Amino acid sequence: MQYRNLRIFYKILLLNLALILLFTGFTWLGVGHFLRLYDQQLYQKTMQVIAQFSSGVETDLKQVESFSLSIMLDPDIQEELGEMQKGTGAYEQLVQAGKLQAKLSIQSMTQKNLSAINYIDNAGKVIAQGDNLLESDSAEQVRALLKRAKAAQGGYVFSEPNIQNEQFFSAREIIQYQNLSLKSMGTLLLSYDLKGIVESNEKKIQDTDTQLLLYADNRMIFRSQNGKSVAKPAAQNGYRIQTINGEKYFVVTVKSDYLGWVYVSVLPYDTTFQQNILIRDFLIAAALLLLAVSCFFSFRIARNITKPLEDLTNSMKQVETGCFDKVKADLYDYRRGDEVGILQKDFLLMVERINQLIKQNYEKQLAIQETKYKALQSQINPHFLYNTLSSISWLAKVGRGDEVSNMVLSLSNLLRASVNEQTVIFLEEEVDLLKNYLHIQKMRYTDRICFSVHIAPQYLDLVVPKMILQPVVENAILYGAENMLGVCKISVWVQDAGENCQLCVRDNGPDIPQQQLKALNAFQYVPHGTGIGLKNIQERLQLLFGAAYGLHVQSGNGQTTVCMTLPKKGA
């Protein structure tokens, strides 16, 4: 009998049996491949563990070197040491030593696992933050390190620790770089808790079976709790199976390029591969169970698959037209316990999930839009902050306390507005923020800028995005006052535009070249500074009010005007 003449029941049954046999074959191949992958992943995992551990330790030790360099190059410390080198009286020397010790104390607060900081001047006098290392049990080791630091002439040196004394000593001769004298100003000596450094990185490793060891010049300097000792670490990076106290261990060795230390990972061999065997048996049992279940359900599918598949096909066609509710009504009462029933239920879940995803995607887009808007409005020019703080510092030094107070108040108002979660404010509030900004700028430019506001009372309650005037006025100052010898006149006003209105800022600075003006209005011009560009304001206006609103720049005849179109009714 030909296959095409068989009943649909037998066609489906034979097809299912063929697929089951094919699936079984691929399952056996997959199990073998999985076990090989598991062995490879075991090696890779162990390498990753030791690499993570060594990288963390190396990073912390590099930070020790960087910290000693930062102390040597610190201008305040250089100045204090320079004063101490002048050989003033005993009382002045004592005061200067106290100041230096205070600065070293502040520096030490930034360092984890730092045990002590010692400064030894050229006469051998010690200023210590923490223990005096020259009077510790490791004094001989420290003195040898100091000789090496002198020979290094400003270079970084360290001494190899040992497992009995888990302190990491490093030193650097402090060289006076001011006026390029390059003369010695003493030696900086640091002591770190190596055990704390290593254990803090060891805690990051999740595998509790892995034991870690650390060697320097074939001497063990660290061993994790209950770690197995490896008599001699391998000379090259790699792994090997080693028997320790009658038990097999998987040993991985990695040599550091920075300090030349050797990091060793020891993993129980039998425990690891016992898990491999259990996984293999589980996969085989799961495959056999799946084979039996597939054979059982193949008979059920052969008898009952036609009608439910037709119903499912009709439901899919309804989904194509967007009739999701109709699908639920058609399939809800049709309950089955086989694969077709599961497929129907999964299809219903999929339809419901599609509805949820449509809603979630809409909400997500709203959230993204709001997040983007908040990110845009929170930008503030760091150079403005720097210049403002520099001006405050200058005024404080010359004793102009009232002006310092006013500038600090204006700056605090601007910063409070920038971190406020409020996205829109009234135009009257925006003008007040602008006046705070201009008060600060007047301290820098004095009479070089002249500012005026002409806003009718009916426009003061307009709703505007927060801090949109300040960046426009900042650009007027940057490209106007900075590039002209006379007074830069800046005016702000609101003009009627039918159903909308326009908030305008004009300055009498140099004209913008036509090519640059075209790029500005197309929002393709990339600003050279770090402040808020016009594109930022355009995006904020359109995010808040819609694509029909935004700004436009005009420049010519010695005047540059920026107009922002706003709705009269607000957002």
> pLDDT, tens digit, for every residue of 459-499?
898 988 888 888 888 888 888 878 888 888 999 999 998 88
Between 420 and 332, the higher pLDDT residue: 420
pLDDT at 398 over 80: no
Q: What is the mean pLDDT of residues 413-442?
A: 81
The 10s digit of each residue's pLDDT in 311-325 is 777 777 777 776 666
Give CA–CA dist 218/199, Å, rounded.
20
pLDDT at 104 over 60: yes
Answer for the pair 64, 191: CB distance below 8 angstroms, yes or no: no
Give CA–CA dist 442/434, Å, rounded.
12
pLDDT at 330 over 50: yes
pLDDT at 407 over 80: no
Six token digits for residue 155: 């270079």
* Edge-to-edge order in the sheet of strand 126-129: 126-129, 114-120, 184-193, 167-175, 156-158
Instruction: Name the 3-class secondary structure at 563.
Output: strand
Q: Which pLDDT belongs to residue 340?
A: 63
Answer for the pair 536, 471: CB distance below 8 angstroms, yes or no: yes
Q: What is the mean pLDDT of residues 7-12?
A: 66
Where residue 203 falls among pLDDT bands split at 50, 70, 90? confident
Phi, then psi, of 364 in degrees rounded to 5:
-65, -40
Give CA–CA dist 350/336, Å, rounded.
17
Q: Which of 223-232, 375-384, 517-526 has the lowest mean pLDDT?
A: 375-384
Six token digits for residue 35: 């076990």
Q: What is the mean pLDDT of residues 129-135?
A: 84
Q: Which of 76-80, 168-172, 337-341, 457-461 has the lowest mean pLDDT?
A: 337-341
- Put simply, whether the predicted model's pTM sits higher than 0.85 gets the answer no
Where residue 566 falls among pLDDT bands split at 50, 70, 90? very high
The 10s digit of each residue's pLDDT in 528-563 is 554 457 888 888 888 888 888 999 999 888 899 999
* Whole-number average pLDDT of the chain: 78
Q: What is the mean pLDDT of residues 44-59?
A: 80
Q: Which pLDDT belongs to residue 425?
A: 86
Q: What is the mean pLDDT of residues 157-161?
A: 83
Q: What is the mean pLDDT of residues 373-381?
A: 50
Instruction: Name the 3-class secondary structure at 133.
Output: helix
Q: Which pLDDT belongs to residue 132?
A: 86
Sign of CA dihedral 16, 17, 20, 26: negative
Report for 202-206, 250-254, 462-466: range of highest mean pLDDT: 462-466
Burial class (CB in 10 A: 0-12, 13-18, 19+), 564: buried
Answer for the pair 439, 401: CB distance below 8 angstroms, yes or no: no
| Residue 220, beta-bridge partner list | 215
Between 129 and 277, the higher pLDDT residue: 129
pLDDT at 380 over 70: no
Q: Which pLDDT belongs to residue 571?
A: 45
Answer for the pair 472, 505: CB distance below 8 angstroms, yes or no: yes
Of the candidates 358, 361, 336, the one whose C-alpha atom is nearest the C-alpha of residue 347 is 336
